[in-house]
Amino acid sequence: MSAPVAPLLEVRDVELRIGGLHILRGVTFDVRENEFFTVIGPNGAGKTSLLNVLSRIYHPTAGSVAFDGRSLLEVRRTGLADLGIARTFQNLALFEHMDVMDNVVLGRQRLMRSGVLTGAVWWGRARREEAEARQACEPLIDLLGLGDFLNRPIRDLPYGIKKRIELARALAVEPRLLLLDEPAAGMNDEETEELADWILTAKQELGVTVVMIEHDMGMVTRLGDRALVLDFGTVVTIESPRAAIADPRVISAYLGDETEEADDPTATGTIAVGIPLGQDRKAKHA
């Protein structure tokens, strides 16, 4: 009988306190290699804080985080790319004056070894590495359908295309683990659906493991293999996305106690009323 395969990412009993705030409380979960793992929860649940722990922006107060058997808490933030971990953020961080290829190539900096001097004068090794990086990024440009926008400045492109460029830049790191922080934030339904297609295509073609925070439940149920639900920094459940959003505890976390007024959350892939942080939820936890 074969031994069980160790998870790619292991999070154990993670606590996070910042000042007087207790943000994460004993968070424990595993992510298997090639899995599409989603993290959902109401506003203020601790989702982005959890991603900040995984990407070494925050250091947890207690607990452990391991990637491929190695403690991430002993790795500097600048060393994550060398391990094969890449991240996108809610807000775009593209260089607006540069074109698409220049932005995507920046994702390959960890693979380039030129010194400051040769890089500054773009000579010798630096010039060769630049050419190699551009060549290596061409399949990503094709994979994400960015060829038609290649030589246009970022500032002239639609928001949905910019999100796709940011995804391509993260994939240029050649990650084994891709962390996505609300990739559909600020997008309309059509843009969200299109971006979901590109994310799924990239995952399938490149074999990358994904951990994604997202508020759009249609996107979560379509893409996710499992969903971790957080509420006030505590794990509510970890199961399939459709099972998770149908869980009475999850509906209660989003909507307060008035669950009898909620629509069937599995009918459209969304949790009832669009998930604003309503007065009922505030009063419940006051």
Q: For 122, phi and psi rounded to 5 degrees? A: 50, 65
Selected residue with higher pLDDT from 96 and 64: 64
- In the predicted model, is pLDDT for residue 285 greater than 80? no
- CATH number of the structural domain 1-84+175-286: 3.40.50.300
Give the global pTM: 0.83
Q: What Å distances lie between residue 179 and 30, 88, 114, 213, CA to CA?
A: 14, 6, 28, 8
Model pLDDT, residue 120: 41
Tell me how far CA of residue 69 lies from CA of 11, 56, 79, 202, 247, in angstroms: 11, 17, 16, 25, 32
Residue bearing the bigger pLDDT, 42 or 275: 42
Q: What are 204-215's pLDDT values in tens digits?
A: 999 999 999 999
* Average pLDDT of every residue of the chain: 83
Q: Please give the Cα distance from 270 to 253 (Å, whole number).
A: 14
Going from N- to C-terminal start, the domains of the chain cover 1-84+175-286, 97-174
Determine the pLDDT at residue 107. Answer: 84
Q: What is the pLDDT of residue 186?
A: 87
- Is the model's pLDDT at 260 over the cut of 70? no
Crossing angle for the helix pair 189-206 and 159-171, nearest 10 degrees? 20
